A = this chain, B = another copy of it.
Amino acid sequence: MAKEKPLSERQQNILRFIWGYVQERRRPPTIREIGGSVNISSTSVVNYNLNKLKDKGLLERDADVSRGLRFTEQALAMFEDVGETVAETVSSAVDTLVRVPMVGTIAAGQPIDLPDTGHALYDDEDILAISAAMLPGGADKLFALTVKGNSMIDAMVNSGDIVIMREQKTAENGEMVAVWLKEDDTTTLKYFYLENPDTVRLQPANPTMDPIYVNAANVEVQGKVMMVMRQTA
């Protein structure tokens, strides 16, 4: 792309006019309509300026057709910065969401049923949407479970709470995970620490409660807890 000079005032006015015209009439303007709006009486001056805007990467032109103008993505981004259309604003807002399927429940006495790959099959009402900033790492392998029973109070998790998890078979120290304790037939949500190759410390979220130490062979990591949500109304 040619090295860019700033847009002239006339060129800015042309862009604004084209934008407004497209919003209102759902088609691009003609050379003569553009000229009329910015007080250019000659079609060749309009043509010259449109070619400058094309050189600057803001317009595409189709030759030898009527109304052969189109904004480039760069130009559309420029207009988005100004926030001029609801549709584009909306579209960019949705890019900042992740959509998490509600796939079932979690209770102490059974391992989690992990979801099948992908969740395009879920109905909208089984999808929980939330700001992506709340769930770093993107939407990959996320699912949500509803908690049944009071057995996870040590994790500061109540019955009825929603736990959002990311499928994961191993854990890093300090991560909150769902683990299935094979000998106890129990699922628990706790912070994971590998004390030594044989021993795992599982630390409750409630800081007033003591950790438990279990044999590493007894621990089956089922997922990383990304978020807990409690509806209170």
Contact = CB atoms under 8 A, between A and B. Distances in A.
**Which of A28, A130, A231: most chain B CB closer than 10 A?**
A231
Contact of A131 (B130, B166, B224): B130
Nearest to A92: B124
A contact face: mostly helix, strand, loop, or mixed: mixed
Interface in A204-233: 205-208, 224-233
Contact of A27 (B27, B91, B166): B27
A78 interface: no
A114 interface: no
Given A87-B91, A91-B90, A158-B205, A233 B136 contact: yes
A205 to B, nearest CB: 7
Interface of A: 22, 25-28, 30, 62, 65-71, 86-87, 90-91, 93-94, 96-97, 124-125, 127-131, 133-137, 150, 153, 156-158, 166, 175-176, 205-208, 224-233
